[in-house]
Amino acid sequence: MKVSVVIPAFNEEKTIGKVLDVLVTCEQIDEIIVVSDGSTDKTAEIAHQYSISVIDLDENCGKGGALKVGVDNAQGEVIVFLDADLIGLTVSHLNDLLKPVLNDEADMSIGIFGNGRLTTDLAQVLAPYLSGQRVLKRSLLDGLDNMEMTRFGIEIALTQYARANNFRCKEVKLVNMSHIMKEEKLGLVRGFLYRLKMYWEILQILGQRHSSLK
């Protein structure tokens, strides 16, 4: 099966190159798509230096919207979602994530950070459904409505949809891997406010799901 990687990126000029350096060496990956989600830095410029597809959106449409654009332009039967701010990504991590889906042991694999940094490890232990590192069969996305409206709630929407439809999910530990915290990127105050916005969008998705079950 053809494998397509979709990376939503908003102002990730400091890390996008390191992520792509690893991806282009992974033999199991057939296609890489970076969606620069209204970035105002050199994210798109750096991505264009690689032999990959780059979609440069004029305006920020949120993580769910950026992923939807990437999926709509992807050719693969298997879709890989990766964040653009990863630290410590290796080809072994990618192979470990891909294995359950390519071997038909799962319909979606979810990457969980381990032995990376305490803050990110703890966050994913408490809420693994928030992980942005996933591999899934394209068919899983066929019935997911309004993906572009989920923004930062996309991971929860994916997890809830998979559970509701009895898709097989498997967690994969990503040892010595982490990502940059919002407070590190934007400063303590701006980063904290951005995190609150992210959590609000996540809570909205949870609220919609709760209402649909009534």
Residue 138 parent element (H or E): helix 138-141
Contact 95, 26 (CB under 8 A): yes
Q: Which amino acid is at 203?
A: L
Domains delineated in the chain: 3-180 (3.90.550.10)
CA dist 178 and 40 (Å) reads 24
Give 83's DSSP letter.
-
Reduce the DSSP state of residue 59 to 3 states and report it: coil
Query: What is the distance of C-alpha 28 from the center of its chain?
Result: 18
Give the pLDDT score at 3.
98
CA distances from 58 to 62, 109, 164 (A): 12, 31, 35
Give the pLDDT score at 156.
79
Answer yes or no: pTM beyond 0.85: no
Reduce the DSSP state of residue 46 to 3 states and report it: helix
> Which tokens is 87 given?
């630290």
Closest listed residue to residue 13, CA positions, set 52, 46, 56, 62: 46
> Which tokens is 88 given?
């410590």
Give the pLDDT score at 121.
42
CA dist 203 and 199 (Å) reads 6
Give the pLDDT score at 190.
64
Give the pLDDT score at 166.
92
- Indicate if the alpha-carbon torsion angle 48, 41, 94, 196 is positive or negative: negative
Averaged pLDDT, groups of 10, the chain, 214 residues long: 96 95 98 97 97 96 91 96 94 98 96 64 51 92 70 74 90 87 58 58 53 44
> Which tokens is 46 given?
């750096």
